[in-house]
Structure 1
């Protein structure tokens, strides 16, 4: 049995067993968090440009949050892009992977087309998270050296979610995953250089996954050894010659995701958390002479920008996000407005910040994402804070109330309090939703 056949067999076998209460609740949280990211993301320049370029007008699926009609492929593409555009979407920490953006976007599009129940939708989300995250773990950190896992592996998560909703049998489910592999894409250079293209990775993954599942359902066949074959996904993208997928459902990966607490690259989070703790302890911005950030190597490579000028650059700058945390007290959407990007206090701190790799913290990755922030004041006194994990990680999770607070901060400014409140109630009650068409986005 090949890897995609084993994954498909697992998914189809799971249909015999109801989701446990904890897995079901985790899937609901994932969807609530996805909407919290997608609503503001839909108004970013990247998402708006793509929507204007495609100008969808009809179809059985819907764009979020407008409710505008679109065909299933376009809905997956645009919603997946929006979900990743504001850098607020969830993370599967151990695999350098954002599972929600592509997976939930694909599930929403196909569930709209089929008018699925809320429970069928949540099962699809759960299976998509599981298969995507397990493949991401199998290719390991080597894959993330050059590839953006959300764009590549996200295609598998999206295909799995769509295949589950379509109720594909094991053979065609495996075919969907095999086809997904050959359409997977997403290069890290897109966000290492000035660009607004990174969110497209998640959108493309959602769309490609949907196409793979729909095509497999009609008999289009993929190469079943595409993951572990000598010219397959593992070898080509990570140099992994013995790719195996293990640990399925033990536990379900949807129960172990990181919910983002800040609107920026997750590699900055530990440093931002440390800076916020120092600020809470009374370290004053006006007294800061210099800032030192010590963290793991991937964080310095991906988020090492020293002079960011645009929002998408600032979200990938340890120096900027730490400075914004110290000046503003949070790193949410406000931190990436033109006013914040040109704030003299923030810019001044950025110029006085040094970022370096700490070998001991580097050894902790990927299981821990740690950072140390050291601030020296004008009198030569130093203040230091070490964060061995990030707020929102599985070992320091956000509560349901904190997740509701995130939704309430991010969604009402775009939808209005009444519409946002109605939507929140419906999302938290997805298990009892009889038909997805009853979920009103208008």
Structure 2
């Protein structure tokens, strides 16, 4: 069998058994975390501007969090964009990939259309995470040199989630993945230069994945060897031949996602965590004479901005996020408001910050995202902290309580406390929810 046929066969075979408790709980956590990302993301200009530009037509799906009814593809596109816009969505660490934003957006859109139950929705999320993450692992870091994996591989995750909800048989499921492959997109230059287009990668992936699944349901077919073929996805985007997918469900990738603890690029996280630990140990920002950051190469390439002037640039700046951590004590939404971006104390620390690649830490990536922060105070006394992983990674996860605290910090400010509480309660109870449409969006 080709790779897409193996993936489809795996997905369809899973329907014979209930989700394991840990897998189900992992999927619930992923959806709760996605809600924490999409609600503030929907308020960004990227998401609002897209929704206004499209003037969504009525339909069976909903925009989140407004609850506005629209068609399935538009819901996937706008919600997928919003879920990535505030840089709060989850990560599959080993593959430089944000699985949740496109996958769950696609699943919600199709679940609304079908009036699916919570358990079926969670199974679709699980399958979408699994297939997307395994393909991302297969093409590896080589793919991430030029391509934004969330925009490319996210299309497969979205297609798989939609195909699972549509209960496509193995042949049509493989067709959905094959069609998804030829609609993938997302270039890294979009976020290496000044731009507000990065969230659109996730939205396009969600929409394209839904389109592929709906088309396959109606009998459209794709090239079954589109992943490993001589002119296929692997060769074209990563120079990877003989692309293989192994260890499906061992463990399920939805149980191993990184929850973002900061509202910015994940490549800055280890350095932020180190800075916050130094702050907690008594280092005061006003006493800092110099900051040295040592980390892995991709972090310096993607988050190497030294003089950011807007929230998008600041989220991709090691210098800014570490300085904000030391001054503010947190790098969530407040850190990217105008007041913080212009804060003289943060600006002064940025000017005293340098970042470089540490060859030993670079060898650990992508399986470990490490950073060392050295601070020298005005008396010449050095302080140092090494983080070999990030808070929120699978080996240092946020607890359920911490995940709920993230939701409670981010969501009520946009939709009100009582509505946020009702949504949180429903999301944590998804396995027993008879209809996903009961969620009180809007």
TM-score (norm 2): 1.00
Alignment of 1:231-380 (within 5 A): 231-380=231-380
Match of 2:91 in 1: 91
Match of 1:30 in 2: 30
Alignment of 1:392-411 (within 5 A): 392-411=392-411
Helix, strand or coil: the match of 2:222?
coil
For residues 4 and 57 of structure 1, the distance between their equivalents in structure 2, rounded to whole angstroms, comes to 33
Match of 2:153 in 1: 153
For residues 420 and 220 of structure 1, the distance between their equivalents in structure 2, rounded to whole angstroms, comes to 41
For residues 438 and 325 of structure 1, the distance between their equivalents in structure 2, rounded to whole angstroms, comes to 39
For the 8 Å contact 2:271–2:370, the answer to whether it is kept is: yes
For the 8 Å contact 1:107–1:161, the answer to whether it is kept is: yes
Alignment of 1:376-387 (within 5 A): 376-387=376-387
For residues 356 and 5 of structure 2, the distance between their equivalents in structure 1, rounded to whole angstroms, comes to 44
Match of 2:7 in 1: 7
Q: Deviation digits for residues 226-269 of structure 1, max 9, x if unmatched?
A: 00000000000000011000010000000000000000000000
Alignment of 1:112-123 (within 5 A): 112-123=112-123
For the 8 Å contact 1:94–1:366, the answer to whether it is kept is: yes
Helix, strand or coil: the match of 1:355?
strand
Structure 1: runs of 5+ lacking an equivalent = none
Match of 1:182 in 2: 182
Match of 1:41 in 2: 41
Helix, strand or coil: the match of 2:182?
helix
Q: Deviation digits for residues 285-325 of structure 1, max 9, x if unmatched?
A: 11111100000000000000000001000000000000000
For residues 259 and 128 of structure 2, the distance between their equivalents in structure 1, rounded to whole angstroms, comes to 17
Match of 1:222 in 2: 222
How many residues matched?
442
For the 8 Å contact 1:98–1:150, the answer to whether it is kept is: yes
Helix, strand or coil: the match of 2:291?
strand
| Deviation for aligned residue 1:120 | 0.3
| Deviation for aligned residue 1:11 | 0.2
Query: Higher mean Cα deviation, 48-57 or 96-105?
Result: 48-57
For residues 210 and 69 of structure 2, the distance between their equivalents in structure 1, rounded to whole angstroms, comes to 17
TM-score (norm 1): 1.00
Helix, strand or coil: the match of 1:293?
strand
For the 8 Å contact 1:106–1:158, the answer to whether it is kept is: yes
For the 8 Å contact 1:57–1:68, the answer to whether it is kept is: no
| Deviation for aligned residue 1:406 | 0.2
Helix, strand or coil: the match of 1:289?
strand
For the 8 Å contact 1:153–1:184, the answer to whether it is kept is: yes
For the 8 Å contact 2:419–2:440, the answer to whether it is kept is: no
Helix, strand or coil: the match of 1:380?
coil
| Deviation for aligned residue 1:57 | 3.6
| Deviation for aligned residue 1:28 | 0.3
For the 8 Å contact 1:285–1:326, the answer to whether it is kept is: yes
For residues 45 and 316 of structure 2, the distance between their equivalents in structure 1, rounded to whole angstroms, comes to 17
For the 8 Å contact 2:159–2:209, the answer to whether it is kept is: yes
Helix, strand or coil: the match of 1:48?
helix
1:109 aligns with 2:109: yes
For residues 80 and 437 of structure 2, the distance between their equivalents in structure 1, rounded to whole angstroms, comes to 19
1:20 aligns with 2:9: no
For residues 437 and 46 of structure 1, the distance between their equivalents in structure 2, rounded to whole angstroms, comes to 26
1:413 aligns with 2:399: no
Match of 1:166 in 2: 166
| Deviation for aligned residue 1:113 | 0.3
| Deviation for aligned residue 1:437 | 1.7
Structure 2: runs of 5+ lacking an equivalent = none
For the 8 Å contact 1:130–1:253, the answer to whether it is kept is: yes
Helix, strand or coil: the match of 2:431?
helix
| Deviation for aligned residue 1:435 | 1.1
| Deviation for aligned residue 1:56 | 1.0
For residues 49 and 391 of structure 2, the distance between their equivalents in structure 1, rounded to whole angstroms, comes to 32
